[in-house]
Homo-oligomer: A and B are copies of this chain.
Amino acid sequence: MGSSTPPTSRDVARLAGVSQTTVSYALTGKGAVSPSTRRRVLQVAESIGYRPNLAARSMRTRRSGRLAVITGVAIDNQPSMVTGASEVANAAGFIMETHSVDGSIADRTDRTLELASGGQYEGILTFVPVLPAALSTDRSAVPVIAATAYDEDMHSTGELADASLLDTFVSTLAEAGHRRFVHVAGPDQYASARARRETYLAAVDRHGVESLGVLGGDWPPETGRRAVLALPDDAPPVAVIAANDNLALGVLRGAAERGWSVPGDLVLTGWDNADFGEYTMPSLTTMAVDFREGGRRAMRLLIATLRDEEPPVSTTPLQRIVWRESTGSIAPAS
């Protein structure tokens, strides 16, 4: 009990009175086996609960049919990316496994290399930043693709971190008559946060509106709340461009604490289309980012790479503005 070792294909062979070869053929459906033999083998295998040892199989075939996706605990919106990647992997006949890694970027790089050369996967897709060393395809036989939504360096698919539509927030609000803006930024280590901040600065400049500055510097709601509390009394009417919905939520709370109405004294945009944004009072104008499709594309790229095919090009945008109550009634530029 417990210490007994699981049955092997040799056990099945002995019990069925055939060779290991025949068992293998019957199970994988590869060689030619007579129907009756095949039936008997299958029956025996089933009865003793035989399951092939995957490590042995993949060591022999050098094909595991498995792809690894590397994620980390702290990356927002990844669940949808993983789901999208999984859809594509399964459709292509692969089993996809998710490995969650944490620690420093060096640790993550090590682990990625380990997985790449461990002989168990035919390809690796990482959603967390790793050092370029992990991506070199010369030494590790299997391809490693990085699709990080939220950081730069390496071969990133990048589209997910694109901030160019933030310009549309500013221009549309400017056209609607808003003259004063503030940006509540995310942390500087994030490429997406930096991109949004820079796009904001360029936009206020380009559209000739006043900027009261860039506040914030972190993702949690409390940062947004503090940013509003730090605004001068005569700030309203002001348009607040928050780097994400969490921050926007804090802004909403801070505005209420100061007695400022939204969208009266203050209009507000977020980013990410978080579930709660449709139900806050007022509901949040935001950027819907299609992480799932981002995951699909990343996986298509990996599969194309390992098959030595040309990667498919996708042109449809991954982002879309959702106008809601927090920006008042405006006629969005089509």
Contacts and interface: CB of A to CB of B under 8 A. Distances in A.
A199 interface: no
Interface string A71-101: 1010000010011001000000000111110
A2 B137 contact: yes
Contacts of A315: none
A139 B6 contact: yes
A56 interface: yes
Question: How would you classify the secondary structure of chain A's contact residues: helix, strand, loop or mixed?
Answer: mixed
A118 B55 contact: yes
A98 B56 CA distance: 21
A250 B278 CA distance: 9
A308 B117 CA distance: 33
Nearest to A283: B253
A334 interface: no
Interface residues of A, number: 54
Given A246-B275, A275-B221, A59 B51 contact: no
Interface of A: 1-2, 4-6, 49, 51, 53-56, 58-59, 71, 73, 79, 82-83, 86, 96-100, 102, 113-114, 117-120, 137-141, 220-222, 225, 246, 249-250, 252-253, 256, 274-276, 278-281, 308
A293 to B, nearest CB: 16
Contacts of A113: 51
Contact of A59 (B59, B100, B221): B59
A56 to B, nearest CB: 6
A102 B79 CA distance: 13
A52 to B, nearest CB: 8
